[in-house]
Amino acid sequence: MAFKDHFLINLFVIQRVLMKKFVVCLSAMLLSIAAFAQISEQQIEEQKAALERAIDNYGKVYGAWLVEKQCSYLSDSQKEQLKHDLHVIQEAIPLDPAIQNMHLMVEDSAQEVASTPPFSDCGKESEALIRQATTLASDWANIIRSTQPKT
């Protein structure tokens, strides 16, 4: 199997692990939101898809940060930038208890994935994850920064 195929399969496994843990919380949260507001089913599905993408992306970024801490592929300045971007993303997570609970579940899942092969082995899969997540974190943090009010 080609490296790229193996890497994509590993990312798919990570995504499945994270998604299974959040489907129940996500559905309950969206249904409670819909109960208080007149939101169409299409809007609920769009919000659900956006939240699933955010959860998946956060899991990748946080997991990559954990893998980077144990494998050290990035230069000091790149590592500091990833740390800063992750902080920007974390600060943007709403303080709602349900969302904070999901946030902690994502971090726990990312810790599990980062501590098992192939990512704990610090091989090609680890480096590829770190490189992909570094770009994702930078782009995401820039979007967050651009939407924050200027002080």
The token pair that represents 91 in the structure block: 């600060």
Token pair 């000091």 is found at: 76
Report for 32-41, 79-88, 112-121: range of highest mean pLDDT? 79-88
Report pLDDT digits (tens) over 55-95. 888 999 999 999 999 999 999 999 999 999 999 998 888 77
Range of the domain at 81: 3-147
Nearest to 115 by CA among 14, 22, 23, 16: 14
Q: How far apart are CA 129 and CA 82, in angstroms?
A: 13
- 116 pLDDT exceeds 80? yes
3-state secondary structure of 73: coil
Nearest to 52 by CA among 24, 90, 33: 24
Q: Which is higher by pLDDT, 6 or 134?
A: 134
Q: How far apart are CA 134 and CA 77, in angstroms?
A: 12
Q: Is the pTM of this model over 0.75?
A: no
CA dihedral 4, 105, 63, 70 (to 10 degrees): -130
Q: How many domains does the chain have?
A: 1
- 22 pLDDT exceeds 50? no
- 8 pLDDT exceeds 60? no
pLDDT averaged over every residue in the chain: 78
Task: Report angle CA 150, 54, 5 to the nearest 5 degrees.
Answer: 130
Contact yes or no for 55/105 (Cβ under 8 A): no
Q: How far apart are CA 97 and CA 91, in angstroms?
A: 14
Whole-number pLDDT of residue 70: 93
